[in-house]
Structure 1
């Protein structure tokens, strides 16, 4: 089966929605957020491919919900860091809600991209881009050749360009 049919989804929702909301309420401490995240979980279920029947629905639902909790936490951390950076500016900056949302979405995309690079590539990329290390200094810091630094930077910059194109 390529996706859950309507009756299977309805049955899954009917049998497990209350349980999932309770499970999320314990983790979030808030019934409204728990309801929202439970709904997002079922949307993910609805849009996911299911080649085999779901044998352990609660395990499956909690895995999806856990992933959404991590995404929510990560987003909150990024948003707080952005707001802190704005507050540290010498002159107040007024940003419209639309622009703010766009900036936060881009920061989340960059965070995801950096996470996907792998630890060594990410460390070298950040050292060169944020700390301003030269290729030679980065090679010395990480105990690799300048060619290796260049290769890591090519990998990282290629991913960045793909993000910009998307």
Structure 2
């Protein structure tokens, strides 16, 4: 067989060479920013590398579909992170200058918010909201129940679900 008709070798290097340009182009069309598209392309292949330990690349029947799935998830995370950052910076603008955190504190707070957002990813909105109000605002279950318009018992179930989710993600 000639090199062009031979089946591609099932390595990350071969996957990268064969599909990096295509994935970068796909991300670039959605982002309009070549640098961010390049970053997300690299992040996609880093995720593939990390996942390679649990599955072999040879088992991928549709590598582009797999890369697209990973790339889409990273793209969604990118937009969510950008939205979170925008909301945080807008909240900071509302603070009097004397109360505004230093740039270092802002960076730490933003990183913490992003980590919390990633940790709670996958939970339904009311469960996430109950957890955030309880943990960050210190609201009791009755107050959360009133805000969510559910029973306290439902809030307790939400909190159990959020704690279980956090523990499973941490493992």
Settle same-fold status: TM greater than 0.5.
Answer: yes
Q: In structure 2, what is the Cα distance between the partners aligned to 1:140 and 1:33?
A: 38
Q: Which secondary structure state, in structure 1, belongs to the residue aligned with residue 106 of structure 2?
A: helix
Deviation at 1:148, TM superposition (A): 3.5
Could you tell me which residue of structure 2 aligns to residue 36 of structure 1? Answer: 39
Where does the alignment leave 5 or more consecutive residues of structure 2 unmatched? 1-8
Q: Note the 1:9-88 alignment, pairs <5 A.
A: 9-48=12-51, 49-51=54-56, 53-88=59-94
Q: Which TM-score applies when normalising by structure 1? A: 0.73
Aligned to 2:3: none
Cα deviation for residue 110 of structure 1 reads 2.5
**Would you say the 8 A contact 1:127–1:138 is kept in 2?**
no
Aligned-partner Cα distance in 2 for 1:23–1:152 = 38
Gaps of 5+ in 1: 1-5
Superposition RMSD in Å = 3.4
Residues of 2 paired with 1:54 and 1:135: CA distance?
50
Report the Cα distance in structure 2 between the residues aligned to 1:148 and 1:41, rounded to whole angstroms. Answer: 38
Instruction: Return the offset for 1:126.
Output: 5.6
Matched, 1:138 2:141: no
Aligned pairs, number: 157
TM-score calculated relative to the size of structure 2: 0.71
The range that moved more, 125-134 or 45-54, is 125-134
Give structure 1 regions of 4+ aligned residues with deviation exceeding 6 angstroms. Answer: none
Answer whether contact 2:133 2:139 (CA < 8 A) is retained: yes
Comparing 121-130 with 70-79, which one deviates more in the overlay? 121-130
SS of equivalent to 1:18:
helix
Please list the CA deviations of residues 127-154 of structure 1 after superposition, one character each: whole Å capped at 9, or x if unmatched: 667595761782696343x334344345
Structure 2 Cα separation of the partners of residues 47 and 21 of structure 1? 19
